Amino acid sequence: MTTSAPPPLDPGQVWWSAPADERAGRPLLVLLHGHGMDEQMGAGVRDRLPPELVLASVRGPLRVRSGYGWFPLDASLRVEQVDEAAQRVARWAAGLTGHPSLGVLGFSQGSSVGLQAMRLRPELFAYGVVLSGFASPLPVGGDAELARRRPPVFSGRGDADGLVPAPLVALTDRWLAGHTTLTRRVYPGLGHDVSPAEVEDLAVFLRARLPGA
């Protein structure tokens, strides 16, 4: 049985940190928000990240309360839905030409989609960021190639984050260590959130990813 490809990402549901005529030739970072959030996540972090970066913050396709999501977090969840969300992001990002580097950053559920996009298209993203996030537990066809490339990945989470189950955190840490060049930080007392100290560490990581750094 064949399934149809997920619908393309709507460009109107992307928040950009720079107007179209100021993006070419600059490194690009795609942002994927968490469950119940929206693309304005990009506006919230713009001033705390390297100004050389162009940010493209994408809205998830599912309406969730007052925000959006990438896939359901209830009994209706199918693993294929993570793939579908990641495929939409990867296909859209592959069409963003004219940038010397392309990274993907996800928070919570968005990090699962970002990692899955890297696994589906190992050649596409130069690096990744996982904030309070997790990896899909099932193997993906691009895993071996990703492990060969070992792209840089920053993973940050709080030690008081009880939202992501501990076994999934452990699985994600093992998977990242085996497939990426991992920078891992755990922040004491932080819950399912991002702290100023974490943003400072993230900015250092991103500056090191800039062309010519």
Catalytic position from the list 33, 38, 99, 108:
108
For 31-165, where are the alpha helices, taking DSSP H only?
Answer: 41-45, 79-94, 109-120, 143-149
Cβ atoms 143, 195 nearer than 8 A: no
| Bridge partners, 131 (sequence order) | 107, 156
Q: Looking at residue 161, what DSSP letter applies? A: -
CB distance 144 to 168 below 8 Å:
no
Task: Outline where DSSP puts E strands in 50-201.
Answer: 54-58, 62-64, 67-69, 102-107, 127-131, 152-158, 181-187
* Catalytic residue chosen out of the listed positions 143, 161, 193, 201: 161
Q: Is 161 annotated as catalytic?
A: yes
Is residue 108 part of the annotated active site? The answer reads yes
Residue 145's alpha-carbon distances to 16, 115, 177, in angstroms, are: 31, 14, 15
Helix (H) or strand (E) holding 166: helix 166-179
Q: Tell me whether residue 99 is one of the annotated catalytic residues.
A: no
Residue type, position 7, single letter: P
Q: Catalytic residue positions?
A: 108, 161, 192
